């Protein structure tokens, strides 16, 4: 089932290969209104510079976004006009559902991502609050390293805060509540610690979308996929 972009939906755009602009440019916007096959979006801004883009009528774009089901959707569109309300809006065409591509589902891809994370366990006898880093990350959960001074158990609910360094240079902040699902003891020459597997039990879809996005970006880096190829692969 295709989840269409909705009011307030954050979307990303990249110029179609036929456009004059460099196809590696990525813009970010938000859907302000949807009327049948036409969507009005805020003026998109370049993710790297923060500057507004020039979206003239007739130019073609690749659009992608993350649905409430955790999937990534993309479609090709064309600018069909402009509209001025409280803010200037760009109008784009929403194609038929059979022209959408769904590239990511709930079985989230887990990738090796090392980012700093703050963890808090609120318990009368174990009021832990510590900084560590992730071992891997996905839209459904993560794994962290935990010193043996903190005694976590399966079923513990943990408050999590992360700062994700995106490819554009922007730092995206994410907050979630996770449940400890697995504990693996790890030993090295210098210390003894644990790998803690955690699944998300409370997270906003916008924060989940940020996590899925950085996972896609790290996959691109790992496989050295060029931005042009990125359009048909798994970036976001």
Distance CA 176, CA 172 (A): 13
Amino acid 198: pLDDT: 94
- Pair type for strands 192-202 and 171-187: antiparallel
**Strand positions, DSSP E, the chain:** 10-15, 27-35, 38-42, 45-46, 60-66, 72-84, 88-93, 101-104, 116-121, 128-138, 141-147, 157-165, 171-187, 192-202
Q: Which fold has domain 10-106?
A: Pnp Oxidase; Chain A (2.30.110)
Residue 39 has pLDDT above 90, yes or no: yes
Please give the average per-residue pLDDT across 90-96, as a whole number: 93
Q: What are the pLDDT digits (tens) for 100-122?
A: 988 755 557 788 989 999 999 97
Amino acid 107: pLDDT: 58
How many other C-beta atoms lie within 10 A of the C-beta of residue 230? 19
Distance CA 236, CA 231 (A): 8
Position 163 confidence tier, pLDDT thresholds 50, 70, 90: very high
Buried b (16+ CB within 10 A) or exposed e, 88-117: ebbbbebeeeeebeebbeeebbbbebeeeb
Alpha carbon 9 to chain centroid, angstroms: 13
Amino acid 231: pLDDT: 38
**159 burial type by CB count under 10 A (0-12 exposed, 13-18 middle, 19+ buried):** middle
* Of 21-30, 65-74, 127-136, 186-195, highest mean pLDDT: 127-136
Contact 81, 91 (CB under 8 A): yes
Q: Where are the domains of the chain?
A: 10-106, 116-223
Q: Which fold has domain 116-223?
A: Thrombin, subunit H (2.40.10)
Torsion, CA 232, CA 233, CA 235, CA 236, rounded to 10: 40
**62/124: higher pLDDT:** 62
Helix ranges, the chain (H): 205-223, 227-230
């Amino acid at each position: 089932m295709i989840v269409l972009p909705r009011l307030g939906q954050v979307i990303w755009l990249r110029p179609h290969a036929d456009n004059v602009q460099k196809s590696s440019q990525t813009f970010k916007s938000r859907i302000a209104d949807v009327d049948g096959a036409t969507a009005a979006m805020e003026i998109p801004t370049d993710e790297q510079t923060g500057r507004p883009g020039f979206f003239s009528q007739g130019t073609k774009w690749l659009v992608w976004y993350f649905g409430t089901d955790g999937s990534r959707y993309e479609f090709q569109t064309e600018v069909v006009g402009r509209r001025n309300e409280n803010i200037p809006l760009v109008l784009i065409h929403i194609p038929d559902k059979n022209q959408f591509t769904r590239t990511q589902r709930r079985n989230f891809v887990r990738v090796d991502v090392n980012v700093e994370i703050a963890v808090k366990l609120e318990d009368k006898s174990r009021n832990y609050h510590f900084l560590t880093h992730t071992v891997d990350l996905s839209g459904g959960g993560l794994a962290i390293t935990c010193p043996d001074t903190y005694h976590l158990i399966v079923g513990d609910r943990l408050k999590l805060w992360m700062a994700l360094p995106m490819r554009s240079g922007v730092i995206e902040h994410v907050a979630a509540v996770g449940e400890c699902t697995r504990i693996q003891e790890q030993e090295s020459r210098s210390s003894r610690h644990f790998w803690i597997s955690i699944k998300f039990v409370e997270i906003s879809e916008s924060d989940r979308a940020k996590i899925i996005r950085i996972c896609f970006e790290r996959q691109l880096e790992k496989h050295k996929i060029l931005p042009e190829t990125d359009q048909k692969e798994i970036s976001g």
